[in-house]
Amino acid sequence: MQAYRFSDFSESILRHSIEELTQSSLLHIADSDHLSSFYCPFDAINTEAKIVLVGICPGQTQWKNALQSAQEGLKQGLNETEILKLAKTAGAFSGPIRANLVKILDHIGLHQKLGVSSTHLLFDEQQCMVHMTSVLRQCILNKGKNYAGTSPDMLRNSFLKQHIDTYFVPEIVQLKNAVFIPFGSSVAEVLYQLSSLGYLKQEQILDGFPHPSGANAERIKYFLGQKQASDLSAATNAVAIDEAKIKLLEKIKKLNLT
């Protein structure tokens, strides 16, 4: 699979509306069965990052936010490095997911390990500490909707696996000393698979908290201690969350990030 970069699409991003960019083939990369991938301007890599936040792939909201920022940067005449940094900040984990993420990371004490008052600063004045990415860097749509990470399986579907090998693997080899925080079990599975192949160490993977998506509200509230086990629906496994949280907090204790 060819690795597409910002320069391949910058002219289109400059000259077309966000609606045209996201509702046409202007940013199209490839198709496979019901899956389609579209370029997202998330090329920037912060090689000095202490923390790497890893999602599944940019959803359509994040995609549009990043494109809007990139387009504004192009109109202002900024250089590519500045544009990609702004696009990453504007688009990565934007929307409700960011607020939930900050609550979770502060709850487990990551801000203390980083020596900051709150992890919300990772999206503001302390961006130098974090690299935000996804195992699938581009926007992946499954039958026209956001790919959710499970069906098809990222490691068993050749189309998705090619995206991981083409975009994500070259990223992680540049982040040898960072701690990787996966969003959800499917992302953690990818990281542990890459660890088994020697691309990163298992101790670099800090997994064990609920995915910060707004659709995961009940699990997040229980993880944060805002809801009792007796009040949970049958769809939420309190024991599994508790066990994962204990392991996560043990990993946090061993971290030395300052």
18-254, CATH topology level: Uracil-DNA Glycosylase, subunit E (3.40.470)
Domain segments of the chain as ranges? 18-254
Predicted model pTM: 0.90
pLDDT of residue 69: 96
pLDDT of residue 171: 95
Closest to 182 in 3D by CA, of 192, 174, 196, 173? 192
pLDDT of residue 111: 94
pLDDT of residue 94: 67
The tokens for 236 are: 């939420």
Which pLDDT tens digits describe the chain residue by residue (258 residues)?
899 999 999 999 999 999 999 999 999 999 999 999 999 999 999 999 999 999 999 989 889 999 999 999 999 999 999 999 999 888 777 678 889 999 999 999 999 999 999 999 988 889 899 999 999 999 999 999 999 888 899 999 999 999 999 999 999 999 988 999 998 889 999 999 999 999 999 889 999 999 888 889 999 999 999 999 999 999 999 999 999 999 999 999 988 886
What is the C-alpha separation between 170 and 175, in angstroms, rounded?
9
Q: DSSP assignment, residue 149?
A: S
Nearest-5° Cα angle at 123, 209 to 183: 25
pLDDT of residue 154: 95
